[in-house]
Amino acid sequence: MTAQATSSTRVVAALAATVLGAAGLCLPGRAAAAPESLREGLFGPKPADGRQNMGPPVARYVSADGDGFILDRSVPRPLLKFDNSPEVFALSPYPAPRGDVIYKNDLGEPVLRATRLGGVTVFTSDRPGGSAAALAGPGAALRLASSGPQMLLERLGQASARASRAARRLIPFDAEATPGSAALIADAAMVASEAVVRMSRKGETKAISQIGRVRLVEGGKAQVQFDRGAMILTVAPAQGLAGRPSSNRIVAAAKKR
């Protein structure tokens, strides 16, 4: 597979002996200035005529439990990344009573609630009832890193090594990638390994047993499917980070098997 390639090239990654490095997300330059209030951090400054400006800020927040995260609303689908995880979650905003906005993941689960007055509540597996969060300052935009053939091979090897260690057996990763899908497939491989690690930590061995290998392909929409022992993840490059299944969705699909 070369940068000029127009047809799909099959890439196979065997189990890596050691992890080569963290999975690739680049965090471009920091926002120009910190919002003056929590409300402005979420919604942007309020215009002089009293209308609410739903501007797309990028800012970092810290919950009452000390968990930090970046909320990036500079793209059509808001993105959220916790400090202690490599995964970026693509969120969908939904209106709520009293003018609030609830941001949900690809399973329809609430991840964040923002009020018109500037209050923020973040929902996690440890705090399903929510934990208040406060603005900590400007954040860095969340974007996919570029990925060529060699980088993709490395990412697949890293994902295979991490998932295999968690499962205590070999879980090969392979992909059918084009230059346009390589970056998202590399990120999806990292997310798949994160899902296996999470299931391992919770002792969900039955769910892990459904995953004999992981195959990543390009398609029209993000999907998780199983076929003869293979977990097939479909990514949609045109949708950016929203075009691949989250670890939550992968875990849910494996547990339904």
Task: Find, among 195, 213, 201, the residue nearest to 255 by Cα.
Answer: 195
Q: What is the full per-residue pLDDT of the chain (257 aa) written as tens digits?
A: 444 443 444 444 433 333 334 344 444 444 444 444 554 555 445 444 333 333 337 999 999 989 999 999 999 899 999 999 999 999 999 999 999 999 999 999 999 999 988 889 999 988 989 999 999 989 999 999 888 899 999 999 999 999 999 999 999 999 999 999 999 999 999 999 999 999 999 999 999 999 999 999 999 999 999 999 999 999 999 999 999 999 999 999 999 98
* Rounded CA separation 247/253 (Å): 10
CB burial of 3-22 (b: ≥16 within 10 Å; e: otherwise) equals: eeeeeeeebebeebeebeee
* Rounded CA separation 76/92 (Å): 9
Are the beta carbons of 91 and 78 closer than 8 angstroms?
yes
DSSP states of 62-78: EETTS-EEEEE-SSSS-
* Rounded CA separation 169/157 (Å): 14
DSSP states of 80-136: EEETT-S--EE-EEEE-GGG-EEEE-TTS-EEEEE-TTS-EEE--SS-TT-EEEEEE
